[in-house]
Structure 1
């Protein structure tokens, strides 16, 4: 018999940061050797970032995703073989194909059990992944989903461009969602506008075994900032309206950790006090699709987020894409 009130409930979270932690001063010293000037003060003033983590040369995106997934599976207390949907949000996959999700499925030892695929929405990827998994579970198609945001952005940074290379880091975050009659993901709202694709992009492709265009990240920082602060408020309010909640009902805002100024602006527009926003950008930098699940896991494990809390996650990224979800933890 079909269940009439089916939700996707968060059972567990996990995250992973590569061992190499690079402070602003260490990064500035590296850049100085290439004739690029920056400083800890310059980076902190503009972004709120103090450090980031970089993957080792032999670490792939699926390697980072694996550790985060294992930690989420352990926290959820489930058998990995019960996972029948794997969604990896990433813009830095291991290969052109197969998907990082399929590679992760194999590393987890899960055999022929449901679907595995990647979602490419850049920094909005985890919000897109949560909404997608929630839809699959609510439809009855799947019961237990592993949703991961994982990135190795250090591989696509131009370390001669101080406006971008100081912003990003590597990492992975994961959640286990499972079908439940108890409320979990209450609502989601997703949007995209491809007319803004040129303000944040990595405009390269493989042709004949070589890269055509640029394999480095390019960004118009002012244009991204202006668009981000506008759409994040709107999509947050849209998701809240769908959930029949107001900002006053939100215990924790977990935004994409791109830039402290964007995050603070969004909180102010929603009239949410700073102490109700989870902030990890200072230590992680911008980890793109990994940033929201990384921040979520940090706040779950340090005890800030408790069962029954209402969470608002939101992200904006290249595409241009943006999305938000309201979750009862």
Structure 2
């Protein structure tokens, strides 16, 4: 008997509070025009002081459940991708499991930063096709506002909060997953980190403990130099070309970065789905949020070939080539 993994539902949640570019003009030396020109971001959503990653993860799942009227009572695994967990332990996934009252579900968090959601999907595919699980919730959720230094002009304008969720189920006759790839360039990890440690982990002393620290130029250079190769490797595994793609969903870090990646890869810019314009960089949530927006706008159709590529802190990356089955 064949064992395939199929995406059967998707949902999202973003906080109500909006922080637009003009708000930053009163905080740091910047302007709406400067931010839009360099990043493509107009606004981002910010969680309340008492609203945490487990809360928005749960709400994304409720949105999924309501939109597709799916039964979640037999979910047997929750994979939650995040770098902003409520606590070091228990996991965010465990809190979601409790809120959903799923007594028979396993629960794990994974931290691959902006690549987390694509890693999560690949893990779900492996769990299901191996026969270990039959119904997996994959969530990408971040409350980055809680680890953003709003005095640091280079980072504070970028980040927002949000969550997206997919339901992946066992199927005997249809799969969503075509090919995948993953890797990391850990030697360049110092270009993007957040630490509460007092000692140095990398070759240089840690800066601004407790907040995101990013070398924007370093990350940009790495992404534009490596993501086109990742795209080609993933497509080659399934004997597809970039011309076969209906949609390309990169991590929504920066609009200018995405344009450069598309140009270097030979992918039309209008095939790139993004979530950054009104949500900012939400790390592991950018890809599911971009897909959610495209579904709402009736862009993605059943049978479309869609390439997801997450990349970021690590510097880690993961890609997933899928056939859209909704």
Give yes or no for TM over 0.5. Answer: yes
Counterpart position of 1:115: 106
Number of equivalenced pairs? 316
Pairing 1:14–2:5 present:
no
Counterpart position of 2:25: 28
Counterpart position of 1:69: 61
- What's the offset of the Cα at 1:203? 2.2
Separation of aligned partners in 2, 1:189 and 1:87: 18
Report the 3-state secondary structure (helix = DSSP H, G, I; strand = E; otherwise coil) of the residue aligned with 1:80: coil
Counterpart position of 1:42: 34
Pairing 1:286–2:267 present:
no
Report the 3-state secondary structure (helix = DSSP H, G, I; strand = E; otherwise coil) of the residue aligned with 1:261: helix
Counterpart position of 1:313: 308
| Structure 2 counterpart of 1:276, from 271, 276, 285 | 271
Separation of aligned partners in 1, 2:71 and 2:42: 38
* TM-score, structure 1 as length reference: 0.93
Contact 1:232 1:315 in 2 (8 A): no
Contact 1:256 1:316 in 2 (8 A): yes
- Alpha-carbon deviations, 1:139-190, whole Å to 9, x = none? 0111111101000000001111100000000000010111122131111101
Pairing 1:150–2:109 present:
no
Counterpart position of 1:163: 154
Aligned structure 1 segments of 4 or more residues deviating by more than 4 angstroms: none
Separation of aligned partners in 2, 1:298 and 1:18: 15
- What's the offset of the Cα at 1:206? 9.1
Pairing 1:228–2:220 present:
no
- What's the offset of the Cα at 1:69? 0.8
Separation of aligned partners in 2, 1:66 and 1:160: 31
Separation of aligned partners in 2, 1:242 and 1:327: 13
Structure 2: any 5+ residue segments left out of the alignment? Answer: 200-206
Contact 1:205 1:213 in 2 (8 A): no
Change in Cα spacing, 1:243 to 1:101, as seen in structure 2 (3 Å) is same
- What's the offset of the Cα at 1:205? 3.8
Separation of aligned partners in 2, 1:87 and 1:205: 27
- What's the offset of the Cα at 1:275? 1.7
Counterpart position of 1:202: 194
- What's the offset of the Cα at 1:270? 2.4
The aligned runs of 1:239-250 (5 Å cut-off) are 239-250=234-245
Range that drifts further, 87-96 or 174-183 = 174-183
Separation of aligned partners in 2, 1:258 and 1:213: 21
Pairing 1:130–2:127 present:
no
Counterpart position of 2:249: 254
Counterpart position of 2:85: 93
Separation of aligned partners in 2, 1:55 and 1:63: 10
- Alpha-carbon deviations, 1:256-310, whole Å to 9, x = none? 1000011111212222212211122111100000000011111112211111011
* TM-score, structure 2 as length reference: 0.94
Counterpart position of 1:304: 299
Separation of aligned partners in 2, 1:136 and 1:231: 28
Change in Cα spacing, 1:220 to 1:213, as seen in structure 2 (3 Å) is closer
- Alpha-carbon deviations, 1:86-124, whole Å to 9, x = none? 10000000111011000111111211x132100100001
Counterpart position of 1:52: 44
